[in-house]
Amino acid sequence: MSSRTRVRTTSTAHNRISPETSWITRRLTAVLISIWFGGILVVALAAPASFRSVDSVLSAPPAATAKALKQMGPTAVREILHYQVGEANRLMFETWGIAQLLLGVAIFLLLLFLSTAGRPALGLALAMMLMAVLMNFVLIPRISEIGRDMRASLQTRPGETMQKFGLLHLGFTAFELAVVLLGTILLVLLLRNRSGFSGLRRGGSGRSGSLSGGGGEEI
């Protein structure tokens, strides 16, 4: 298929999408990106806070915990609490990985099939989706596996394991920051034409025709 034929096919597909549908899709996509950003912030704050809570509990334990501290000793209780927090964080990261994957797929498919977004926006959405795939199927399972082994003291070289665990967490953080950067650029592209829908309703067929032709709406 020649490039001219592909362009004509894309233009025809865009013409089938009404400007109103494209506008709604863009705003819905912006909401999903905002939810994604909010989830990243919550996870970034919750994970370290949960480990700090162990020290808070041990420094001012309730009556039941104080009794266990006397019977088992603070070291054993600390290990138990750290294990519980680690398992809770593992579940949180695994759940968040699935949520990111669903958000990435939804954003890409919405822009692909229900908007007149052009290649820049689709490329950004595709990159965000691929990052979510890598995090969900590669980084998060590996982090969970090493973290669980560390908590169970199964590793014979804890120094090397800690280094590997730290590198994986650093990679996860880098991916999340990249998602925020790409998502911010995508948000700018989606929201830069703020008056698009109201202009359509006021401007009549001339405005509608210019957008539905494919050139005015593509980003």
pLDDT at 204 over 70: no
Give 8's pLDDT tier (boundaries 50, 70, 90).
low
pLDDT at 217 over 80: no
As given in the structure block, the two tokens for residue 52 are 């700090």
pLDDT at 112 over 90: yes
pLDDT at residue 4 in the model:
56
pLDDT at 1 over 70: no
- What does 83-109 look like in DSSP terms, one character per residue? HHHHHHHHHHHHHHHHHHHHHHHHHHH
pLDDT at residue 52 in the model:
83
pLDDT at 196 over 80: no
Is this structure's pTM higher than 0.85? Answer: no
pLDDT tens-digit profile of 31-86? Answer: 999 999 999 999 999 988 888 888 777 777 777 777 777 788 778 878 888 888 88
pLDDT at residue 32 in the model:
98
pLDDT at residue 60 in the model:
77
pLDDT at residue 123 in the model:
97
